[in-house]
């Protein structure tokens, strides 16, 4: 879905909800003669917050981005807007972290190969050497940092160095089986996406498919969420489920689950890369494409 | 979902897409100090059309509706807007037409009984006497107009009289097994909703479940659409499907299909009653709740 | 789905899995010249258990049911089968327990009215008078037993008397908001079906829609299960979910959830009434129709 | 799902339905002391046909396969069974045919790489050179046979030679955009699987996403079927759909559809490779895993 391949700026805005806010913001773009391609709003009446996502076509811009950002900053100060601006011409850089399980990695690389993920993937990081062969197939550098009880902080520091050096915008934990430290996570707030192989908040923690089988549930699922210091407690981005039946063994649940994990993680990554997500506390606002 | 029980006006607007249209329209509401509860927009880049649905809280209005409508009419003329205004305080009146099959009728009456359909149901019309017992249970008048080859035009005329007399806003064909004449339909343009027991455009026409079985499809569905003079060709409002397997007989498909028909028709009726649908040629824009 | 309206016997069998078990059991029916309409088996390789559901057409039977049961009992003793036999000519009797919420009650009564639930409903029991009007519409006796801190045991005793007197086979808690005592439940082991308004094991306990909203999940669900003394911990029969988004308020989740609860409970009740469920510890084997 | 990696024989049997057939067939396996892992049956009461799938564990076999096949052939003649026997130790060989679109190819190769498709892929065949790079990544030989008006028969003959030489068991048309001749198809009856990018029988023929957009459907789908001489008319194996809305452009439908096509084709191929499909005229019996 290369809908972002054009030269656009995307504004993600949140502010306190109040009368006239839409008119003021859309008036700004209109007065300045910007070409609004799409404007999406959400008014959270419970928390009294207002959220906007605005896509601007920059192809006929008469002023510089700098000028344009200054003007908007002035408006934002007046209206007390929190906001970020994203230019589709700035290709994002995504790092993938894996352990020994390849299915999510393959799915990301496959979608990337077909132009469905609008980013570069400068590197894949693992705590095991096993998946180097997959990285090789797609010609992406593979770095291995084995972790044991003693060296975890040190290895994380090295990984952080590598991420910084490559100007990484988004880290995707595609079944990376190490818990990241609070320090690591604080370097990429709301920029680390994790896939949990269960329908959260059911079956937090380890071995969810075995536990799902034992409980006798009739559907299994997967959850993609931003990583926070509380494991499996971060803001949920995407979830999906599939119907199972009594015949399915725990091993078969794992196999069925692989396809759910693949599509849930890939969708969440797509939504992040397309700048369609705004956080509101523990909840995510995910605008449609 | 009695979200409309409050005192609101809902604007459904369509116009040619162009720069600044959102700013002008939202500016109008802002300048006049109206309280916009929700504003939804859709820009159809292919056909160059722009669609808006705006919900206004009228509870603190300082001016009359008449004044308010005049002001908006002026704006609309300037901006060349097509629009309708709907007041939630005007309870809509819905007629249900049935033949011998009761499942969709029951589902509508059940949802209505629980306050989930924001309308009155002054009458049920049928070409058979069979379902009077259902109407009686819910204490709704039941009118029977048997149709044969000779009397169809005459019976339709009587039905139309009855609908007009009761100020009917919406006619729901809940498995009414007669084809309505063009003349009848032209009296209620985009105000007659029909349920077809197949996933259109597959299996148009009669006996879709038998044909689905014979073709060996793996899912069956249902479609709610506005009635137009071309049978089963009207604008689609809602569709849903369910997975089936080789064990299901045509009779079982019919039984599974009943639940699909129920929920598809009830959803479509809900969307219409909540003023969430705008037509764009053969396509429906259905705004989320 | 009146597929059971014919004169059939349904055998539900469980035993230790071993070679030749299918041949022995199906040999019995073949030797005795019974007409097997459908034979379903499931071999649980993990627990080493074997399960069968066999439907026999009794319409051409040459021997009495008594003789037939004696013969099968002999086989069962030899093969160490646990089993139950169900005759479709014995119409089951189902009691519905409700509090103030009517949506599940309506859905059951609606499906029952259309011949989709093969049972009689001799009575509806509630701890509140509110839903008598619904019972009246369907002409079913309504008994009200208000429960307070002091009279719970006494009221349960009265309810049990009533259930026994009416030879009730199945009790359905269609949003009955009282916790039943262990004693009550032990009178109807695996014969009480409850609907929980969440996708168990997520959001056990009270107020699940509010908690789902706060956690920011992207799908909500419902679970029908047999009631056991541990609340919300009984064997799961049916689950379903629906996708939601950030715009949905807790109130809207409740409204969306109503339709999920309806269909999940009605499906579970149908499966029970059609003798398609065998228990295996905490897990249910639910054979397809 | 490598549940077939063990040493098993799978029997796919169809015959006229009649009393005692299950007892006779299961009696055979029992008498001969075979270890039946799973036995699945389906009785088609409409067409009077009976279908069985039986998995036998061969690991403790005391007799040769030859003897075993002779014994079964005798039974089959007596009972008039149509049957095939499949040994999981015989790894199947699958050829993939593609044109310029890579998404289904990638999905098959990814699942194959992870051991989820129990087959070898000795070659990929295309009428265009474009996807050689994908084949290279997975180290699979790529053959290109450009087709024009004049050389089609000749090229097909060469492809057939190649398939025969490699002992191909299954041909998968993973968006191969040429219509195969009747002669070609007759060489692989029910051994060619095609993916159609619509929910058949809706939108047969070309450009289904554009047509779906124009018709304003609310869900789009894909269909995997066996190729027969009537294009898009072969027996359906798998179908799936996804909900869309008015905002989705035809281009976006194409993107959404890619994921549906991927999973539908991969599931159909898996079902075929696991010997879970029996044909009954135009309908497929697809046994659960």
- Interchain CB distance below 8 Å, B37 and A19: no
Say which CATH number the domain at B105 has: 3.40.50.170
**Residue B5's pLDDT is what?**
59
Of D103, D113, D289, the CB nearest to A106: D113
Do A27 and A72 lie in a common domain? Answer: yes
How sure is the predictor about A59, in pLDDT bands with cuts at 50, 70 and 90?
confident
Model confidence over D105-141: pLDDT tens digits? 999 999 999 999 999 999 999 999 999 999 999 999 9
C44 in the same domain as C107: no
pLDDT, tens digit (0-9, with 9 covering 90-100), for C248-274: 999 999 999 999 999 999 999 999 999
Q: Is D231 within the bounds of a domain?
A: yes
**Residue A5 has what pLDDT?**
59
Taking Cα atoms as reference points, which of B59, B8, B56 lies closest to residue B29? Answer: B56
Do B126 and B185 reside in the same domain of the chain?
A: yes
pLDDT in tens, A197-227: 999 999 988 899 999 999 999 999 999 999 9
- Touching C (3+ Cβ pairs <8 A), the chains are A, B, D
Contact (CB<8Å) A110/D113: no
Which of D60, D107, D232, D240 is the catalytic position? Answer: D232
Range of the structural domain that residue D237 is part of: 92-286
pLDDT at A3: 45
Closest chain C residue to the Cα of D30, Cα to Cα:
C20
Distance CA C252, CA B173 (A): 27
- How many beta carbons lie within 10 A of that of residue C153, not counting itself? 12
Mean pLDDT value across residues D253-262: 96
Residue D3 included in any domain: no
Pick among D43, D216, D281 to test the B interface (most B CBs inside 10 A): D216
Record: contact A23-B20, CB cut-off 8 A: no
Chain A: give the shortest CA distance to residue C186, in Å: 21
Which residue's structure tokens are 């119907």?
A243
The pLDDT confidence band at residue A141, using thresholds 50, 70 and 90, is very high
Please tell me whether residues D251 and D125 are part of one structural domain: yes
* Positive/negative CA dihedral, D122, D126, D132, D137: negative
pLDDT of C5 reads 59
The answer to whether residue C3 is domain-embedded is: no
Give residue A80's pLDDT: 97
**Rounded distance between C-alpha atoms, residue A116 and residue A97, angstroms:** 19
Q: What is the CATH number of the domain that holds C24?
A: 3.30.70.260
Give tens-digit pLDDT for D161-182. 999 999 999 999 999 999 999 9
Q: Is residue C153 situated within a structural domain?
A: yes
Residue A2: pLDDT above 50?
A: no
For residue C2, pLDDT over 60 is answered with no
Query: Is residue D201 reached through a cis peptide bond, with omega within 30 degrees of 0 on the bond before it?
Result: yes
Cα D98 from Cα B238, distance rounded (Å): 35
Q: Cα–Cα distance between B265 and B196 in angstroms, integer? A: 9
Selected catalytic residue, list C130, C232, C240, C259: C232
- The pLDDT tens digits of the residues spanning D191-249 come to 999 999 999 999 988 899 999 999 999 999 999 999 998 878 899 999 999 999 999 99
Q: Taking the CB of residue D230, how many other CB atoms lie within 10 A of it?
A: 9
- For residue range B35-66, what is the model confidence (pLDDT) as tens digits? 888 999 999 989 999 999 999 998 877 888 88
Verify that C166 and C101 share a domain, yes or no. yes
Q: Which of B58, B87, B116 is the last residue of a domain?
A: B87
Q: In chain C, what residues touch B263 (CB-CB under 8 Å)?
A: 259, 263
What contacts 24+ positions apart, CB below 8 Å, involve A74-82?
A75/A24, A75/A25, A75/A28, A76/A13, A79/A15, A79/A21, A79/A24, A79/A25, A80/A15, A80/A16, A81/A13, A81/A14, A81/A15, A81/A25, A82/A13, A82/A14, A82/A15
In a shared domain, residues A68 and A148? no
Q: A97 vs chain C: nearest CA distance in angstroms?
A: 25
* Structural domain total, chain D: 2
Residues C251 and C159 in one domain: yes
**Coil, strand or helix at A219:** strand
A269 part of a folded domain: yes
Test C221 with A219 for CB contact under 8 angstroms.
Answer: yes
φ, ψ (nearest 5 deg) of residue D271: -65, -40
- Report the candidate in C50, C52, C48 with the shortest Cα–Cα distance to residue C36: C52
* Pair (A98, A153) in one structural domain: yes
The answer on B110 and B149 residing in a single domain is yes
**Cβ proximity of C252 and C278 under 8 Å:** no
Chain A residues in contact with D247 by the CB 8 A cut-off are 288-289
Is B225's pLDDT higher than 80? yes
CA distances from residue B207 to A188, B18, B36, D64 in whole angstroms, order as listed:
58, 46, 47, 52
Among the three residues A87, A110, A141, which one is the final residue of a domain in this structure? Answer: A87
Q: What is the nearest CA distance from C109 to chain A, expressed in angstroms?
A: 25
Chain D residues touching residue B246 (CB < 8 angstroms): 42, 280, 283-286
* pLDDT (mean) for C105-132: 97
Other CB atoms within 10 Å distance of the CB of residue B193: 25
Q: Are A118 and A5 in contact (CB under 8 A)?
A: yes
Angstrom distances, CA of residue D41 to CA of A161, B190, B199, C229, C286: 60, 49, 30, 38, 16
Domain identity same for D65 and D100: no
* Chain D residues in contact with C19 (beta carbon < 8 A): 30, 33-36
Domain match, A117 and A221 both: yes
Say yes or no: A233 contacts chain D, CB-CB below 8 A: no
Does C104 lie in the same domain as C34? no
Supply the mean pLDDT for chain B.
Answer: 93
Q: Are D128 and D146 in contact (CB under 8 A)?
A: yes
Q: Which SS3 state, helix, strand or coil, does residue C127 take?
A: coil
Q: Cβ–Cβ of B246/D283 closer than 8 Å?
A: yes
Structure tokens at B90: 């005007």
pLDDT score at D5: 59
Instruction: Show which of B87, B109, B144 is a domain's final residue.
Output: B87
- Per-residue pLDDT band at B109 (split at 50, 70, 90): very high
Interface confidence (ipTM) of the complex: 0.92
pLDDT at B65: 85
D265 located within any domain: yes
Residue B249 near chain D (CB below 8 Å): yes
Chain B contacts of A39, Cβ < 8 Å?
Answer: 22, 41
Closest-CA distance of chain B to residue D283, Å: 5
| pTM for the predicted model, two decimal places | 0.95
- Residue B81's Cα: distance from chain center in Å? 23
Q: How confident is the model at residue C234 (pLDDT cuts 50, 70, 90)?
A: very high
**Residue C1 domain-assigned?**
no
Rounded to the nearest integer, the mean pLDDT of chain D is: 93
CA C78 from chain centre, in angstroms, equals 30
Residue pair C286/C277 in contact (Cβ under 8 Å)? The answer is: yes
C248 contact B CB<8A: yes
B139 touches chain D (CB under 8 A): no
**Quick one: what percent of chain A has pLDDT higher than 90?**
83
- By C-alpha distance, the chain D residue nearest C31 is D20
Strand, coil or helix: what is D16?
A: strand
Task: Give the dihedral of Cα atoms A180, A185, A186, A188; nearest 10 deg.
Answer: 150
Question: pLDDT tens digit string along C66-117?
Answer: 898 999 999 999 999 999 999 999 999 999 999 999 999 999 999 999 999 9
Q: Is position D2 within any domain?
A: no
Quick check: D39 and C19 CB within 8 A?
no
Three-class SS state of A169: coil
């Amino acid at each position: 879905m290369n809908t972002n391949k054009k030269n656009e700026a995307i504004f993600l805005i949140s502010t306190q909800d109040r009368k006239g806010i839409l008119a003021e913001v859309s008036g700004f773009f209109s007065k300045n003669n910007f070409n609004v391609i799409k404007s999406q709003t959400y008014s959270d009446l419970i928390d009294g917050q207002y959220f906007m996502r605005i896509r601007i076509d920059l192809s006929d811009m008469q002023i510089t981005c700098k000028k344009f950002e200054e003007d908007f900053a002035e408006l934002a100060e007046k209206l007390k807007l929190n906001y970020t601006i994203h230019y589709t011409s700035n290709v994002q850089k995504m790092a993938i972290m894996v352990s020994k399980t390849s299915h999510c990695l393959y799915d990301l690389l496959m979608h990337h190969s077909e132009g469905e993920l609008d980013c570069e993937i400068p590197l894949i990081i693992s705590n095991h050497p096993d998946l180097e062969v997959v990285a090789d197939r797609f010609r992406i550098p593979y770095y291995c940092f084995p972790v044991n009880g003693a060296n975890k902080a040190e290895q994380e520091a090295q990984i952080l160095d590598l991420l910084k050096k490559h100007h990484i915008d988004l880290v995707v934990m595609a079944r990376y089986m190490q818990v990241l430290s609070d320090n690591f996570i604080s370097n990429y707030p709301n920029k680390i996406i994790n896939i949990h192989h269960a329908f959260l908040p059911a079956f937090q923690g380890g071995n969810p498919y075995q536990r799902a089988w034992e409980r006798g549930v009739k559907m299994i699922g997967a959850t993609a969420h931003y990583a926070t210091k509380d494991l499996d407690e971060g803001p949920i981005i995407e979830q999906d489920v599939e119907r199972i039946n009594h015949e399915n063994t725990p091993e078969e649940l794992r196999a069925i689950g692989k396809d759910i994990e693949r599509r849930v993680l890939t969708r969440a990554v797509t939504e992040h890369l397309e700048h369609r997500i705004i956080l509101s506390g523990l909840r995510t606002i995910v605008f449609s494409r």
